[in-house]
Structure 1
Amino acid sequence: MRTVLNVIWLILCGVWLAIGYVLAGIICCLLIVTIPFGLAAFRMADFALWPFGRSLVKRSDAGAPSTIGNIIWIIFAGWWLALAHLTTAIALAITIIGIPLAWANLKLIPVSLVPLGRVIVDSDDVQARYPTVY
């Protein structure tokens, strides 16, 4: 079922989101100082391509620089991205076939708000590593 949902997502939403995130990542990497944000944008593009069956987990070695970077990110880009994902999710949820796609859009909100110090893993790995979470 994950594969079917991912293919539908990829065709209808994922490609366009990933292209946007990749373009933002390229711009951030060209500006040198914002390379960490560019790498985070590439991570978001990866998650936007294939969101079903994957989860966002905080890295255990993420420290103060990630927190500071996330605060800067939220101020300049994160809240805009989260608002866009929320608006798109509401629009997708109007139709029955769009409900799973809306759910995937809601899954992108945490990574769009705080992308630094996070890693995207297979959902099965999360359940095996953190059995009390699910």
Structure 2
Amino acid sequence: MPLLSLLLNLLWLVTGGIWMALGWVLAAVLMALSIIGLPWARSALTIAHYTLLPFGQTAVRRDEFRGREDMGTGALGFIGNIVWFVLAGWWLALGHLVAAVGLAITIIGLPFAWAHLKLALLALWPVGTEIVPSDGVERRVTGRI
């Protein structure tokens, strides 16, 4: 992890990122209470890790990144996203939006507010996305894998 990403991630945790990560873990635990919710629980834990360390990573559409569709990027993924939105997505997105507004009030908090806005969008529609290192996206786009 580059030094700037490490510094931003440490500041992120201090400015409240850890609380939103705990929100994602809570969503994962609630989803895991039923067998049916296990796929969403796994995704929520992955995004909880992303929420802990958002700088130096990015969320990408899995079909665009890998160059092929899978179960999570097709019709079943669409249905999965609707179920997720109803059960957990809207309140996680709301938490990220409230945190973003609070951080955006201060000039120094703008980078963290932007990270919360990216996470709020991910909270609404997470199925079919993959968390990858930011430099991995650059290599994929430029063809240097």
Q: Equivalences for 1:1-134 in 2 at 5 Å?
A: 1-60=4-63, 61=70, 62-131=73-142
CA distance in 2, matches of 1:116, 1:10: 25
Q: Deviations over 1:16-52 (max 9, x none)?
A: 1112211221221121111111112112201100001
Q: Which runs of 5+ in 1 are unaligned?
A: none
**Displacement after TM superposition at 1:11 (Å):** 2.2
Backbone CA RMSD of aligned residues = 1.7
**Normalized against structure 2, the TM-score is what?**
0.82
CA distance in 2, matches of 1:56, 1:115: 9
**Displacement after TM superposition at 1:107 (Å):** 1.6
Q: Deviations over 1:60-110 (max 9, x none)?
A: 223221111001212332233223212221110111221111111112022
On the 8 A contact 2:23/2:92 being kept in 1, the answer is no
3-state SS, counterpart of residue 35 of structure 2: coil
CA distance in 2, matches of 1:116, 1:4: 29
Percent pairwise identity: 48
**Displacement after TM superposition at 1:121 (Å):** 0.4
How many residue pairs match? The answer is 132
CA distance in 2, matches of 1:106, 1:55: 13
